[in-house]
Structure 1
C-alpha cells in the first residue's frame, strides 16, 4: 500500500466536499488570502478553524463510529486512597521538573493514576461558602472557587483499567467512563501528529465550562479559565515528578477534531489543554 502525502490526502478530501462545503472552502480561503497584512485578525483565526473542520471531516465519521461501536454505559471506578511515599523532596521535584516526551511501554498502575489525579485536582478540604456547608476545595486554586475546569483522562495503558475516556469525579475521587476503546490513532491526528500522545500511559484533558464563571466575572472569566488551567497543569507536572513519571503539556491540536473525537460540544465545554503522562 502506497502511503499518501499530506498534500495528496488534503486534495483527496477537498475533492469529496459537496457543493455547499466547497463554496465555504472558497470563501474562507479568499478572505484569508486577500488580507493586506501578515497579522491574522480574530476573524481570520475563525476562518482557519473552519478550514480545519472542512479538511478533517474524517474525524466526524470516526466520531460516529466511536459512538456506534465502542461507546459503553457509565462505568464507575473507585480509586485507591492509600498513597505511598517516595524519596523525592520538594526542592528536588522543582529542580527536576521537565517536559518529557519519551515514555516506556510499561503501563502505570491504578494507584499511581489515583495519586496523580488527587495531587493534580483532588478534593483537599471543605468550607462553608455560598450557602453550602461542605463546599469542596481542591489542590489547585481557582478564581472565586468556581472551578470552571473539568479534568478527564484518556487511558491508553493503565493496569486493571480498560482503555477509554473517563471523567474524574473530584468529590468521590473516582473515574466515570464516558466511552471505552482505543482512540490513540485519531488522537494523534487531532494532535498534529505528535506520536508521544499514543505512547503515553494516559493523557489528561483539561476542559472549560464557561457557564460556571462567566456569569460572575463576565468576559474576564475567560482569563481566569486559562489561569486555572495553568495551576492544574503545574500540579500535574510536579505530581508526575514526585511519582517518577514524565509529563508534557499539549497545546497544539485541532480544536474541532479533538472535540469530535472526545464527544464535546464546544458551545458548552471546550478543551483548553492536554497533558501526557507516562513512565520514563
Structure 2
C-alpha cells in the first residue's frame, strides 16, 4: 500500500457536527497596525489567469503597505457579513475558513517582524517571534530565490474541520489551503507582483517561530515581491 492509498483509506470516515464557527483567529493584546483601504483592481481577468506563474527572482525593492493591503484583502479578506455569518474571499469546507495568514515583510515600509492578518478589521497584529531563521530556511530550500521581500505563511486550524467532518476533514484542509494559495497567486499577478510557493520549508522551524498551539500548523509558505524584468 503506498502513502496516497493509505491516506485515502484513513480519510474515508465522514461525520458531521455543528460545533465550530468560522471566526478568524484574534491575538488579544497584540500591537495593531491598521491597513489602508483596499484599492480597486482593474486588471483584466483573462490577462491575470493566463499570465499567472511562479517567480523566483525578485527585486530588492519595497513592497509598500498599500500593496500588502490589497493583496491580503482580495485574497483572504471579508467580503461581507450577515449577522454572525462571515463571507470570505475564498470558499472553504463548511465555510469554516480555517486557513490563517501570517506575513513577514523583509523589504517593506513595515517594520520587519511576524504579523497575523485579522480579516474582520483589516489590520495586522504584530507578534513576537524569531523571523530571521525563516528567510534563511526559504532561501536554502530554493536556491533560485535571490531575495525574500515578503514572506507569506499559511496555517490551518485543522481541528475545526476535523471536529465537523471527522477524518475526511484531513482532505478538506489541504484543498482549502490550495484555494487560498491560488487566490494569492492571482491577486499578486493582478498587482504586478511575482510570487512563488515554497514546498521545502522546515515545518518545525515555522511552527515554532509562529508559536502555534495544538490544533494549528503551518500548511503553506510563499514568497512575493516585485519581480525582475
TM-score by length of 1: 0.67
Structure 2 CA distance, aligned partners of 1:199 and 1:184? 13
Q: Counterpart of 2:120 in 1: which secondary structure? A: coil
Counterpart among 84, 100, 117 of residue 168 in structure 1? 117
Q: Residue 74 of structure 1: CA displacement? A: 2.1
Alpha-carbon distance in structure 2 between the residues aligned to 1:138 and 1:101: 29
Q: Deviations over 1:198-219 (max 9, x none)?
A: 7222111110112211111001
* Pair 1:137 & 2:87 matched: yes
Structure 1 CA distance for aligned equivalents of residues 84 and 208 of structure 2: 36
Deviations 1:90-126 (A, max 9, x none): 1011111000011000111100000000011000122
- For these two proteins, the number of residue pairs brought into alignment is 205
- Aligned counterparts, 1:17-96, within 5 A: 74-86=30-42, 88-96=43-51
1:146 aligned to which of 78, 90, 96:
96
CA contact (8 A) 1:126 1:134 kept: yes
Offset of residue 191 of structure 1: 6.5
Higher relative contact order (CA 8 A, sep 6+): 2
Once the two structures are superposed, what CA deviation does each residue of 1:3-60 show, in whole Å capped at 9, x if it has no partner?
xxxxxxxxxxxxxxxxxxxxxxxxxxxxxxxxxx9x7799xxxxxxxxxxxxxxxxxx
Query: Deviation per CA, 1:103-157, whole angstroms, max 9, x where unpaired?
Result: 0001111000000000110001223xxxxx2411110101111111111111211
Residue in structure 1 matched with residue 199 of structure 2 by the alignment: 251
Structure 1 residue 260: deviation in Å?
2.0
CA distance in 1, matches of 2:94, 2:4: 32
Q: Looking at CA atoms only, which structure, 1 or 2, has the larger radius of gyration?
A: 1
Match of 1:126 in 2: 81
Tell me how large the CA RMSD over aligned residues is.
2.5
Q: Which runs of 5+ in 1 are unaligned?
A: 1-36, 43-72, 128-132
Higher helix share: 1
Change (3 A) 1:106 1:136: same
